[in-house]
Amino acid sequence: MRDDAAGESPTLEESGEFAVIERLVRNRRQPATVTLGPGDDGAVIATTDGRTVVSTDMLVQDRHFRLDWSTPYQVGRKAIAQNAADIEAMGARTTAFVVGFGAPGTTSTAEASALVDGMWDEAERVGAGIAGGDLVSCPQWVVSVTVLGDLQGRAPVLRSGAVPGSVVAVAGELGRSAAGYELLRNGIEEFPELRDRHLVPRPPYGQGAVAAAAGAVAMIDVSDGLISDLRHVAKASGVGIDLSAAALAADFDAVAAATAALGADGWAWVLGGGEDHALAACFTGAVPAGWRVIGRVIDGPARVLVDSREWEGYAGWQSFEG
C-alpha cells in the first residue's frame, strides 16, 4: 500500500471500503438536526414539523460533470448544491444529506476525500449535515445524493398553485452556468467567473423559506432551464406564463461578453440554460426582498410565452437527449 506521508495517496482498492469510510467521516461536525450520524445501520434526523421533505438526484461522470474540467472538490459542492435547491423550492429548510458514491477501485483516497470535503463545505453553507451513505465499486464516478428538509410548520409550496393575475419572480441568477459550459466546451479560458458558475452553482439559500413565508403559491428550482421548468408550473397549475425580456435584461447583459466571444445567443442561455439553480415562484401579493419580478401568470392553456409570443429557441435540458 502506498503511504500518504510519502506524498502518494493509496487507492480505494488498496485501502478497503471501511477504512475509506472511516477516513471520510472522521472529525466531521454534525448540526443539531442530525442526532445520530454515520456509524450505525441508519442515521437519525430530528424534525420539528413531523413531516420530512425528501428529494434525490444523481451525477454521472461525463454526463453531468467531467473530471478534466472539475476538481473532485467542485463535484462535491455541485452535488450538494443542486439537491439543496430542490428542498428550497418546496419552501423547506435543508436538514441532512445521505450520499452514495461509486468509483473505480483505482480512484485515490485523496480524490475521494476532496469530493467529501466539497460536500461538507457546501452542506455547511446550507446549515445541514451529511448523515450517512454508501461507497461502492463502479466503472466510473457516480454520485447519488438524497436530501431531507423540514417545512417548519409551513405548507409545502407546490408547482400546482399558480393562478392568473399572480406575478412570476426569481431569486438567483440565470444563464451563467450555460455560458460557463459553452466556454469550457470550446476551450475558452476567459471569463473564469462564468466557468466557475457551471462547475459550482450558487442557489439562493434561504430564499425558498422566505418565499413560502411571503405567501408564494407555486415554486420550482430552475435546474433544466427557465422556460422548461416554468412549463412544469404552467402544466401543473393549468395556466399560462408570460415572461418579460426587459425584466431579464440584467441576466442577458451579464453573459453578453461571453456570447460575443462565442458567437452565441445569450437569450438561449438565459431562457433555456439550466444548472444555475435559481428559484422561480409565483406570488399573489407583495414579492419579498431578494426576489425580482420577471413575468405574470395568465389564463391557460398551459404554456410559457416571452413578451406574449411563443419562444421558439432552446428551452432547456432533457435527461435522455443526446
Residue numbers in the known binding site for ATP are 133-134, 159, 223
Cα–Cα nearest to 274, from 143, 191, 175, 208 = 175
Q: How far apart are CA 91 and CA 282, in angstroms?
A: 12
Residues of the binding site for substrate: 64, 275, 317
Q: CA-based diameter of the chain, in Å? A: 67
The residue with cell 466503472 is: 139
Contact 11, 107 (CB under 8 A): yes
Contact 226, 280 (CB under 8 A): yes
Work out the number of other CB atoms within 10 angstroms of the CB of residue 37: 19
Work out the number of other CB atoms within 10 angstroms of the CB of residue 314: 17
Q: Which three cell numbers stand for residue 296?
A: 405574470
Phi and psi torsions of 213, nearest 5°: -65, -30
The sheet that has 93-103: what strands, in order across it?
A: 53-60, 142-150, 93-103, 129-137
Cα–Cα nearest to 190, from 180, 177, 200, 202 = 180
Burial of 50 (0-12, 13-18, 19+ CB in 10 A): exposed
Contact 243, 236 (CB under 8 A): no
Q: How far apart are CA 169 and CA 161, in angstroms?
A: 14
Residues of the binding site for Mg(2+): 41, 55-57, 86, 134, 221, 224
Burial of 29 (0-12, 13-18, 19+ CB in 10 A): exposed
Residues of the binding site: 41, 55-57, 64, 86, 133-134, 159, 221, 223-224, 275, 317
Q: How far apart are CA 111 and CA 129, in angstroms?
A: 20
The residue with cell 451513505 is: 133
